Chains A and B, each alone.
Chain A
């Protein structure tokens, strides 16, 4: 997240402690709060999110940017494509 190559997200969704599919629902409900081309970060610690955030991006033609490790869980960066 703090890597210089990864820009800051416009919106951070805290889904820590939430089980799938809740993190994906939160992402789907809120991604349109940012302008097209901007980034959303989803923080999650359910192992299913590691597969499901990229899989959701593929299904919904959004751009999955990167996953980074947190002390507990992961941060997933998604760019709103449309």
Chain B
């Protein structure tokens, strides 16, 4: 049995479990109250904020904790476009730029604004899934008195959660800086795994992706960023995020991020050699299979491939029955009924898709077992979808 879906959710890090249990006893009180229990919770919360700020490279008062990564993204995007519903910014309509391979939370927040009068430009990627810096830069509109609506926000992920491809954040940040456009970096997939380059105005992340508990997101807003909450005022989290924070979960998230960052070198090298092995061996062992995404730079733990003539949902189910938990970007395996927008943007084969993402500490043994069972599973499924011609070999099919 092997859990290979760390990119959906990394199992809770032991450091997070330990911090969570301690904080349930010490950090349960309301951190904005002035009594002893409240002050203790506030001290713990501020310590967690300082640790997270140090790890992402900003000031502690620029960091707020949210209830999820998606909430952080929604607040970040909507807060830059200045849109409370029915309340456009006084300085005119907004223009937004995002890469076509952003997480669905970014794209749906941008589409939400587009439906309310904002303009949205989506920029493309190359066949290996890397954002084209020149296209992204060309889409940015500096403010000009006579020109079209200026770009209020550009959005780029630090790394892609489906392919693991690390995006050229530093180059895009430089282009944004030159154009005077604030940049939101969605660091959900990369936090704790790859350093996030500076140059962002807003940064979002999600704790359960780095081994923290679910229910904790991060929203960081640099000073002098023209962000304001799109929601009714609330005293919590620097007035950026409404609602009572889950202090024990935040402490656990900070402990996990600390530990993952500290283990970055020693932890990621074994995973990288295993995903390198998967990238090399899967196409060799399984005919008509393609691995997606540039090999470098990429996150160490993710590899995505597609098997021609195979139903992705059936493949995930068959692997699950064989003891391997993976995810898929194929249309049939997704609730939307549409294929992964990331694979589509790359022009990559979307059916028969499997994403393997290795959790911390994965050893070679289950990966070798996966490689041992995959060819037979794929061959079996290829026969099932052609009942009229059982045994027909794919090599013959597509010669």
A10 at interface, CB cutoff 8 A: no
Of A21, A47, A52, the most chain B CB neighbours within 10 A belong to: A21
Min CB distance A73 to B, Å, is 14
Contact of B350 among A29, A48, A59 (CB under 8 A): A48
B308 touching A51 by the CB < 8 A rule?
no
| B330 CB contacts on chain A under 8 angstroms | 20, 48
| B352 CB contacts on chain A under 8 angstroms | 21
Considering the complex, give the chain A residue whose CB is closest to the CB of B289. Answer: A59
Bitwise, A22-58 to B at CB < 8 A (1) or not (0) is 1011001100000000000000001110111011101
Contact of B308 among A21, A29, A46 (CB under 8 A): A21
A60 at interface, CB cutoff 8 A: yes
How far apart are the CA atoms of A29 and B348 in the complex, in Å? 21
Q: Which of A55-77 contact B (CB under 8 A)?
A: 55-56, 58-60
B398 at interface, CB cutoff 8 A: yes
B386 at interface, CB cutoff 8 A: yes
Q: Provided the pairs A51-B349, A59-B290 are in contact, do residues A24 and B343 lie with their beta carbons within 8 angstroms?
A: no
Min CB distance B338 to A, Å, is 5
A59 touching B308 by the CB < 8 A rule?
yes
Looking at chain B's contact residues, is the secondary structure mostly helix, strand, loop, or mixed? loop
Q: Which of B261-276 contact A (CB under 8 A)?
A: none
How far apart are the CA atoms of A24 and B347 in the complex, in Å? 15
Contact of B351 among A24, A29, A54, A60 (CB under 8 A): A24
B385 at interface, CB cutoff 8 A: yes
Q: Provided the pairs A24-B351, A51-B344 are in contact, do residues A19 and B398 lie with their beta carbons within 8 angstroms?
A: no
Q: How large is the interface on A (under 10, 10 to 19, 20 to 34, 35 or more residues)?
A: 20 to 34
B232 at interface, CB cutoff 8 A: no
A59 touching B344 by the CB < 8 A rule?
no
Q: Provided the pairs A47-B339, A48-B338 are in contact, do residues A58 and B347 lie with their beta carbons within 8 angstroms?
A: yes
How far apart are the CA atoms of A28 and B392 in the complex, in Å? 12
| B332 CB contacts on chain A under 8 angstroms | 19-20, 48
How far apart are the CA atoms of A28 and B347 in the complex, in Å? 18
| A56 CB contacts on chain B under 8 angstroms | 308, 349
Contact of A51 among B288, B348, B386 (CB under 8 A): B348
| A25 CB contacts on chain B under 8 angstroms | 309, 385-386, 397
8 contacts between A and B (CB under 8 A): A24-B308, A25-B397, A29-B397, A48-B331, A48-B338, A48-B339, A51-B347, A59-B308
